[in-house]
Amino acid sequence: MVVGIAGPAGSGKSTVCRLLSRRPGFVHLDCDEIAKGFYAPNGPAYRDVVRAFGPGILAADGSIDRRRLAELALPDPEKREQLEAIVHPLVVRAIRERIGKERDRGAAVLLVEGALLFHSPHVPRELFDLAVWLEAPEEVRRRRLLSAGIPPELVALRLAAQRDLSPPPWAEVVDASRPLDAVTRDVAGLIEKKGAR
């Protein structure tokens, strides 16, 4: 079963996926982690991103400074869309490859984590057998992001960029404002229910 776990920054996606992936047969795939590799100098997105955003996003060693890129792209919806159009199709290809690999290995559940999984026009909805949306108030999410050590100015940018994100009608919505072990139990219950159908 392929389970998409989405929700805005700070909603607890990573923690919930990490806790679930301790269960036998559960595997966690973090779309952010996949995308990081695409920005490396030999990565598939590197040339297009530098061409689109200019050499000002490069660190001294020639790699893309993701913080500089975020500061450029996040506040500007047009630039954000431009970046997503470069990176998201590559992420989808990687998800499809991983689904095939995990099926061959006999994994029971592949958890695919990503903030924009259900909102990106580049991610097909039919990739997921179950779509789970984690919902939490902005103040709760701000606290979580700050306690994870993310600089306050970057937290503000991420929250602002995702302010309009809301769950699609076809996703199961889970209240993620509670302790994340309780949220994890709820998500596990949804997966079990779906698997029993």
Counting the structural domains of the chain, the total is 1
Please compute the mean of the pLDDT values over residues 111-132 and round it to a whole number. 94
CB distance 64 to 58 below 8 Å? yes
For residue 152, give both structure tokens: 């306050």
Q: For residues 188 and 20, what is the distance between their CA atoms, to the nearest angstrom?
A: 7
Q: What is the pLDDT of residues 10-36, one digit of tens each?
A: 999 999 999 999 999 999 999 999 998
pTM: 0.91
Is the CB of residue 159 less than 8 Å from the CB of residue 75?
no
Residues in the chain: 197
Q: What is the dihedral of CA 72, 75, 79, 85, to 10 degrees?
A: 110
Alpha-carbon Rg for the chain, nearest whole angstrom, is 17
What is the percentage of the chain residues whose pLDDT exceeds 90? 89
Q: pLDDT band at 96, cuts 50/70/90?
A: very high
Cα distance between residue 13 and residue 7, in whole Å? 7
Quote the pLDDT of residue 164: 87
Position 195 scores a pLDDT of 83
pLDDT value for 106: 94
Place of tokens 């779906």: 194
Q: CA-CA distance, 85 to 88, in Å (whole number)?
A: 6
**Phi then psi dihedrals of residue 51, to 5 deg:** -65, -40
What pLDDT does residue 196 have?
A: 57
The per-residue pLDDT for range 126-166, each reduced to its tens digit, is 999 999 999 999 999 999 999 999 999 999 999 998 988 99
The CATH number for 103's domain is: 3.40.50.300
Give the model confidence (pLDDT) of 51-90 as tens digits.
Answer: 999 999 999 989 999 989 999 998 999 999 999 999 999 9
Q: Which domain holds residue 151?
A: 2-196
pLDDT digits (tens, 9 = 90+) for 30-53: 999 999 889 989 899 999 999 999
